[in-house]
Amino acid sequence: MTKHRLNLRKVIASTAICFAAFFVNNAMAQPGTYNAGDIAVINNIIANNGLDWTPAPTDGSSIPADWTGCSWTSDASNKRITYLDVFSKFLNGTLNVSGLNNLQYLSCYYNQLTELDLKRLNNLVYFYGIYQSVSITMEGNGTNFTAAIVLNNPENLAAGITYNSGILTSISNTIASSNFEVQTGFPCFTLSGALHFTYTEKSGIKTILSETATVTGYFDLLGKRLQAEPTKGLYIVQYNNGTTKKIMK
């Protein structure tokens, strides 16, 4: 067999491989493989709440490799999200997942969320939204310091802290923090955590409350309290000022 024929066969073989790869890639990236509505919900969380994932194509043809915190139904097309884990992602503000109609599991604890919309999630059976840690700057003087913030009728606020019509009010700049709990629109599931205050006088003088942080507990990555500090592995330390820290030994 001549050298020319060998080269021709190589060219034909290479071309065939390229065509095969083209057809395989196009078969794997069909629009509508993933539900476009579910894609939009996650993309909005990325855009509005600070989730550090890569936005996905809006046509539902594929999902980025870093979307490791969600699981989908096994349907051939129009796959729906059933599991969403955004634990300790520094998410802030109002989290809206109400479009994820097939969602069964939601974990969003250890973030900075103040409101959560779980309306219409009839399939939800597990929710974990505790240990939110929210920093707020209160402005004013004397016995009237305020901040505009979205909270859904918060409960368990500290004495001296009130909320009305989108305004959080403190009667003293000596109140360093307050617990809070808000409804989510889903029976029995609430979002809770702590609000931490920094006070700014109207004159522009800023008073930052400081305190010596002491450890109040140790937790595993699922939020289960541990009896003692682990000697190795990854775990979470909680302090009396409401802050948390991941530790790796």
| 88 Rama class: left (phi>0) / alpha (psi -120 to 50) / beta | left
Question: Does 109 have pLDDT greater than 90?
Answer: yes
- At 9, the pLDDT band (50, 70, 90 cuts) reads low
DSSP single-letter state for residue 174: T
Question: Does 24 have pLDDT greater than 70?
Answer: no
As a whole number, mean pLDDT of residues 66-78 equals: 96
Mean pLDDT, the chain, whole residue set: 85
Exposed/middle/buried for 208, CB within 10 Å: 0-12, 13-18, 19+? exposed
Within 8 A by CB and 6+ apart from 215, the residues are 229, 237, 238, 239, 240
Domains of the chain: 30-129 (no CATH), 133-210 (2.60.40), 213-249 (no CATH)
- At 176, the pLDDT band (50, 70, 90 cuts) reads very high
- At 51, the pLDDT band (50, 70, 90 cuts) reads very high
Q: Which of 69, 117, 119 is nearest to 89 (CA)?
A: 69
pLDDT for res 23: 39
pLDDT in tens, 180-238: 999 998 888 999 999 999 999 876 555 554 456 788 888 877 677 888 888 888 888 88
pLDDT in tens, 134-172: 999 999 988 899 999 999 889 999 999 999 999 999 999
- At 2, the pLDDT band (50, 70, 90 cuts) reads low
DSSP single-letter state for residue 20: H
pLDDT for res 232: 82
